[in-house]
Amino acid sequence: MSNAAPVFRKPLGMPRKFHKRITIDGAEYDLCHPTTGDKADVVALSQKAGDINEQREPMGIDGGLRFLGRAACACLYYPGGARRVFDVREDADAVKNEPWLDEHQADVLAAFGGPTVQEARGNSEATPS
């Protein structure tokens, strides 16, 4: 019998759920699904800045791009999904101007939004017999 005291660790900074691996300028990164808290932060920051309205609709092209930049910051991780590449508060304005965001914006929005209803349900069509 061991007399060693148990070691407890706080489950903080856990890896996020993987969405897709992308390549930016030859380096690989993971797009991950943000937590509900991460999403709430992006929405709150975007509403406070006047980039989206109460219905979460973009307020003009610039507002939509700034929201997209924040979403990218919330979703882009180093491989493994435990360490985020960008800070949502500090880096979003720079990220919104990056050419890789144009290329990967659909994937960023898919990762930010999570699975569609159809994806969550899976293939529900009847199998022919």
Residue 109 forms part of a structural domain: yes
Separation between Cα atoms, residue 18 and residue 91, nearest integer Å: 22
**pLDDT value for 69:** 97
Place of tokens 């144009």: 102
Residue 61 forms part of a structural domain: yes
The 27-33 sheet, strands edge to edge: 17-24, 27-33, 76-77
Residue 10 forms part of a structural domain: no
93: three-class secondary structure by DSSP: helix
Residue 44 forms part of a structural domain: yes
DSSP string across 25-64: TTEEEEEEEPPHHHHHHHHHHHHHTTSB-TT--BSHHHHH
**Strand pairing report for 76-77 and 27-33:** antiparallel
Residue 23 forms part of a structural domain: yes
The CATH number covering residue 44 comes to 3.30.2220.20
Q: How many domains does the chain have?
A: 1
Residue 73 forms part of a structural domain: yes
Residue 59 forms part of a structural domain: yes
- Higher local confidence (pLDDT), 26 or 123: 26
How many CB atoms are located within 10 Å of the residue 35 CB? 13
Residue 2 forms part of a structural domain: no
Per residue in 68-117, pLDDT (tens digit) is 999 999 999 999 988 999 999 999 999 999 999 999 999 999 999 976 65
Beta bridge partners of 20: 31
| Structural domain boundaries, residue 46 | 17-114
Per residue in 51-63, pLDDT (tens digit) is 999 999 999 999 9
Cα angle 93, 96, 102; round to 5: 175
